[in-house]
Amino acid sequence: MKTLLAVILLSATTFATAHHSFAEDTLRIATEGAYPPFNQLEPDGSLSGFDVDIAKALCADMKVTCEFVKQDWDGLVPGLLAKKFDVIAASMTITEDRKKRVDFTEKYYQTPSQFSSKKGSDLDVTPDGLKGKTIGVQRGTIQSCYLEKHYANSELKVYPSQLEAFNDLVAGRVDIVFSDRVGAQEQLLKGPDGTSYELVGPPQKDADCLGEGVGLALRKNSDELRDKLNTAIKHIRADGTYKEINAKYFPFDLYGD
């Protein structure tokens, strides 16, 4: 009898654990809170931005409640793997290297990476042209991967957040910054010193480092949750919700081709 009871209890526990894999009322979503206008921290401590609004729309479509967690960039993947949260919505680009550790949904936007510098600097952004120059970049990003791969003869200065890199560019502590183009437009060119700076050179290309667009990151084997999020992305694209959120932040289609 005790054996039978143990089997029943184990089966119930197994079912509950499997049910917990996704069929919860609350989805814990982490974002950086330091990458406006995609994600930022408001004075009242709440998180806002394009990533946050997209996540809220996906939760609404899936009929679950979003619970947001602020997490520094470097701790996002470790926190996900430690089950501190279920999903990362922090403008994280889908790359082959990251797919070794986490799974991704389909993309929910895609933007190019580009250099930015002070107007009149006349910098040649080729590897030879930036030899010996100091390039600012956010640590652990696709842009950092690209610079490490192609700009070995430059001095790379890495920062915990993209905004800190731009602040050092304005302060004259780096010669040039490599970042997401929209991030540069929003954080640097629209800033108080923005009229003195500009995007330099063409958008850079490298599928290995610069990836396949931005997706939501999940733990490996979260197939049910990934499929539901992918379906929700399709829904908000089709019903106009995505377009409405996009227009709130950008005068162009962020989704890309």
Inter-residue contact 225 to 21 (CB < 8 Å): yes
**Secondary structure of the chain: what % helix, strand, coil (to 5)?**
40, 25, 35
What was the pLDDT predicted at 109?
A: 97
Question: The domain containing residue 33 runs over which residues?
Answer: 2-110+212-249
Inter-residue contact 37 to 50 (CB < 8 Å): yes
Same structural domain, 64 and 96 = yes
Same structural domain, 133 and 230 = no
Model confidence over 81-106: pLDDT tens digits?
999 999 999 999 999 999 999 999 99
Section 6-28 average pLDDT: 52
CATH of residue 84 = 3.40.190.10
Same structural domain, 6 and 97 = yes
Query: For residue 106, what are the contacts with CB-CB under 8 A and spacing of at least 6?
Result: 215, 230, 233
Above 70 in pLDDT, residue 19? no
What was the pLDDT predicted at 15?
A: 37
Q: Is residue 234 one of the residues assigned to a domain? A: yes
Section 186-190 average pLDDT: 95
